[in-house]
Structures are given as structure tokens and as C-alpha cells.
Amino acid sequence: MRILLVGAGGVGSAVVPIAARRDFFEHMVVADQDLSKAEKAVAAQASPAGTPEDGGRRRHPRFSAIALDASDPGAVEAALREHRCDVLLNAVDPRFDMPLFHAALNAGADYLDMAMSLSRPHPRRPYEVPGVKLGDEQFALAEQWEDRGGLALLGMGVEPGLADVFARYAADHLFASIDEIGIRDGSNLVVRGPDGEQGFAPTFSIWTTIEECLNPPVIWENGAWHTTEPFSEPEVFDFPEGIGPVECVNVEHEEVLLIPRWVPAGRVTFKYGLGAEFIDVLRTLHKLGLDSTAAVRVRGVEVSPRDVVAACLPDPATLGDRMSGKTCAGTWIKGAGKDGRRREVYLYHVVDNEWTMREYGTQAVVWQTAVNPVVALELLAGGAWKGRGVLGPEAFDPVPFLDLLREYGAPWGMREQ
């Protein structure tokens, strides 16, 4: 397998050291608009011995770096062909999903991402019914992918991704029928500033966080999707392994659009433990129009307010040394167990920032996201997972994935509620 990894930011740069420990692929081309980022990710895997020409370090033979504009499908298609890549792994913001999606389709490569194409709220009833849903643009091309015999695997990160695998595992092995599936994400992560004080520093892309938190959340209920207001239905969820109770609120997220396509359930929700301060900041950004992606002219320069916000905050990939604590992603399922009795379980994955920094040099949130597409690629390379068309993680047997995840040093757990 030859892989084109597009994006060498937080998640993309975490993919590289995870993949470097596995032997299922022949070569990975790391691409970024900023060539220095791609080169840095590749150089981190170099061996210490080398020649004066390569700076005294030997390049890792299975990685190379190129400059690439993710918004240019023609350039991406050309890169896929030039480097003979079988699959494109998308590790950039979801605003670039469609150019990359089209490029992979046209080049005859398979495609994986960790999100889905963006939504657009209903123009008149945004907090009642969906407009364009997450992934609609990609699922509209499913027939073309099937006809070509290719696979586009959407939402294969941690949430979405592992959380969806948990839902399928519960349906296959734990429940006879499911009343409700609730994805619940929380942490006790703390980011300290240079002075040691706790500061405001999102642990994931602020661009993506603004998008999913301020859009109308989607809920699956009684066989249909409907929307509600951002940050609605607050609840306190008790997270495992010492994290404890965290208030979670409704947020727009891909699992709610993916899970019902393959897993029968009466209700599906996604709730995120944001915290009061974070919610206040997001609401303020919205009130000031700083969440907008529409360009405005400032001193003769066209700039997006959201891009300015992202540029003013620290890169999440650089926060590991200032972070402490754990993050938890999981799927809470309620229904009738295989024996017919009422059952309620929480399947979860907890990652400690101290461990990811020590083992991989990356902070916990981006590592937890990055490990799952690498696991999926290994299953596809080995034939344990096979598929055609546009599919979600729920379309595959969850057992090989969960078994291999343990082999990667990332055990998952189950708690009877």
C-alpha cells in the first residue's frame, strides 16, 4: 500500500510516528501546503546516522515530503498518480474534504477522512430541521465510487470513527435491540501557560471546533433527523479512569449522521464536554462575527475572521508539553441485551497525555484521533476490511479493529452503567 497523507498539522504529524512502527504499507507521502511542516514530520522519523549531504541524518526510507495545496483537486490528483498512491488519507480541515474526495475518485485511489463534508443550516428553520447535512455531498457520489470499484471511508478518526465502531460492536455482540446511542466526549485536560496559569488553548483545531459547536446540532429520533439549538440539553456524564463528572451539551457531529445508516437505534446523539468558559468564548466569537468564514477586507487585504482567530491561538500540536490529564471518547448504549433484559453500557477509549508525549511526542487529543485511521488502513491493506462505495466505520466488522487497536497499545474498555 502506498499512501498520500494530506495535512501535516496536529493529526497528520501524529499519524507519521504511529504508522512508522507498522509494516503494512510500502510508502507514505506526507503533503502539506507548508512544505516545512511535511518535512519536519518526516525528519522526525529519520535515523541518527547519515551523511553530510542529508544533515547527518538518514531519511526514513518509507516516508517522503512534498508541498501540496489541498484546495486544488488537479494538483492532488497529479500527486496521487505521480507517487503511485493507492489511498489518500485526509488530515486537513473538513472544508477541503470535497476537493480531496474528487481528486481520489478521479485518480482511482481509495479515500479515508476523519470527518465529512460540511453542512449548511436550513435557511428558515435551522433549529428544527436539517439543511444540507454533514456528508450529504459525499454520499451523493456513492454510486460513482461503487461503479469504479473504489472505497471512500468517511469519519474514520476517534469521534467519528472509533465511536462508530463501538456502536456496531454493541449492535452485533451486546444488544438484541437498541433504544439509544449517545456519543459522549469529555476530559480533565488542563493547558498551562508559560506562567503556569491555566489558559484558553483549544486542544483541537479551533476552525473545526467553531464549525461543529456553533452549527445546529443534529439528533436522530424516531426514524428521522432533526436539529436543535447549540449547547442544548446539558447533562452531567461521569467519565471513567479518574476523569469524573463533566457537563456535556449537544454539538453537531458526524456520528449522528453515520450510525443510523447501519445500526438500528431509536435515538442517536452527540454530546461534548466543553465547559462553561469554552462555551462563553464560542458564543462571544459568534456575537462578534468572528466565527465567519466569509472574507472581509482589512487594510486592503481579504481575510476570513475565523482564520484570524485560528492564527491568534497556539497550534494544538504544540501544546503537549503544557498539557496534563486524560481525554475520553466513548459510546453509551441503552436497550435490550441478548438475554432480553434491560442493559446500559459505555464503551470507551481513554488516553493519558503523559503517555502519548512520552511514547510518541504528540499530545493526547491528536494522537487519539490519528491512531484510528492508521488501524483502518492496516485492516484494508491486509484484507480484513473490504468495501466499495461511500461507507462509514459501521459498515465493517468491528472485532478486527478493536483487536488491532489493543495491539497498537491503545486498549479500550467497557463499563456496565
Helix (H, G, I), strand (E, B) or coil at 349: strand
Distance, in Å, from the CA atom of 105 to the CA atom of 270, rounded to the nearest integer, reads: 30
Average pLDDT, integer, range 146-173: 97
Q: What SS3 class is residue 105?
A: helix
Q: Give every CB contact of residue 257 below 8 A, 6+ residues apart in sequence.
A: 116, 133, 134, 135, 218, 225
Q: Quick check: 384 pLDDT over 80?
A: yes
Give the other-Cβ count within 10 Å of 224's Cβ.
Answer: 10
How many whole angstroms separate alpha carbon 279 and alpha carbon 283? 6
Backbone CA torsion sign across 129, 229, 390, 33? positive
Q: How far from 361 is each of 17, 22, 58, 383, CA to CA, in Å?
A: 9, 17, 20, 31
Amino acid at 346: Y
Helix (H, G, I), strand (E, B) or coil at 240: coil
| pTM score | 0.90
* Greater pLDDT, 108 or 291: 108
pLDDT in tens, 127-149: 999 999 999 999 999 999 999 99
User: Pairing state of beta strands 235-239 and 151-153?
Assistant: unpaired
Of the ranges 156-160, 218-222, 300-304, 400-404, which one carries the lowest mean pLDDT score? 300-304
Query: Is the predicted pLDDT of residue 274 greater than 50, yes or no?
Result: yes
C-alpha cell at 136: 450529504
Which pLDDT belongs to residue 211?
78
Respond yes or no on whether the N-terminal peptide bond of residue 160 is cis (omega within 30° of 0): yes
Strand partners, 65: 30
What does the pLDDT read at residue 199? 58
Of all helices (H) and strands (E), which one includes residue 350?
strand 342-352
Q: What pLDDT, in 10s, does the model give residues 325-366?
A: 999 999 999 999 999 999 999 999 999 999 999 999 999 999
CA distance 348 to 375: 17
Q: Work out the mean pLDDT of the chain and round it to a whole number.
A: 91
Separation of alpha carbons 344 and 309, rounded Å: 41
* CB contact at 8 A, 84 and 59: no
Length of the chain: 417
- Check residue 312 and give its pLDDT: 79
* Digit-coded pLDDT (tens) for 26-51: 999 999 999 999 999 999 887 654 44
pLDDT value at position 277? 76
Give which of 18, 9, 8 is closest to 361, Cα–Cα. 18
- Say if residue 64 is exposed, middle or buried (CB neighbours under 10 Å; 0-12, 13-18, 19+): middle
- Assigned C-alpha cell, 407: 495491539
The whole-number average pLDDT for the span 266-288 is: 86
Helix, strand or coil, per DSSP, at residue 189: coil
Instruction: Say if residue 386's pLDDT is above 80.
Output: yes
Give the separation between CA 373 and CA 118, rounded to whole angstroms.
20
